[in-house]
Amino acid sequence: MSKVGIIDYGGGNLRSLSRAVESLGYAVNLVSKPADMDGLTHLLFPGQGAYGDCLQKLQNRDLVKASLQWIAEDKPFFGICVGYQLLFSGSEEAPEQEGFNVVDGHVVKFRSDTLKVPHMGWNSLQVTDPSHAIWKGLPEDPYFYFVHSYYPVEVEASVQAGSCNYGEDFTACVIRGNLLATQFHPEKSQDNGLRLLKNFLEL
């Protein structure tokens, strides 16, 4: 049985993600220090709020190095929203801060005179490889819920797993081994989100 941890850095959407995981029959273990990762099989990172603030809070709890070690060992890791953006080299939102830098690419803000920013609401995901186990049981071009003002660019092609269009196409999901990360919120995406979480927790 999977033993699931959710990173608690003093922010993030802990409650709704915890409820979603628990609804699938899993107990949730909150991770607020590196030792809390001991014995876990799956780790979720529900980033929410400002990039720099999120990164600073992780650093204050010594969770950056521990998370990087987890990812380096290819243990199942699911980064969500800002938890997705932190995987890249950095963000325009906090140019003085260096990201995790485990996936090639950097994060920029939407620039549009016609679109509302933040991008908020339901949008379809164009999946790169529908045969991948993470999409099992999901419809073609599944809809998920987004809330964000920033998105990654120049993402390495080998990890691009799904794209979304909001004025322009952008990479909204990456997969590398047991690393999964999404710009959208699965815990707010009803049946499609729960199915994606279930598939991840069965890795």
Catalytic residue among 42, 119, 148, 185: 185
Q: Is 173 a catalytic residue?
A: no
Q: How far apart are the first and last CA of the chain?
A: 11
| Closest to 94 in 3D by CA, of 46, 48, 150, 12 | 150
The answer to whether 176 and 134 have CB atoms below 8 angstroms apart is no
148 is catalytic: no
Instruction: Determine the Cα–Cα distance for residues 145 and 163; give it in Å rounded to an integer.
Output: 13
Is 81 labeled as catalytic in the residue annotation? yes
**Exposure letters 152-172 (e unless 16+ CB within 10 A, then b):** beebeeebbbbbbebeeebbb
One of 81, 93, 119, 164 is an active-site residue; which one?
A: 81
Sequential DSSP letters for 131-147:
TSGGGTTPPSS-EEEEE
Which phi-psi region, left, alpha or beta, contains residue 163 (left: φ > 0; alpha: ψ -120 to 50)?
Answer: beta
* Contact by Cβ (8 Å): 44, 78: yes
Catalytic residue among 42, 148, 173, 187: 187
List C-alpha distances in Å: 55 to 12, 70, 96, 100. 12, 17, 11, 9
Q: Which residues contact 35 (CB under 8 A, 6 or more apart)?
A: none
Active-site residues, by number, are: 81, 185, 187
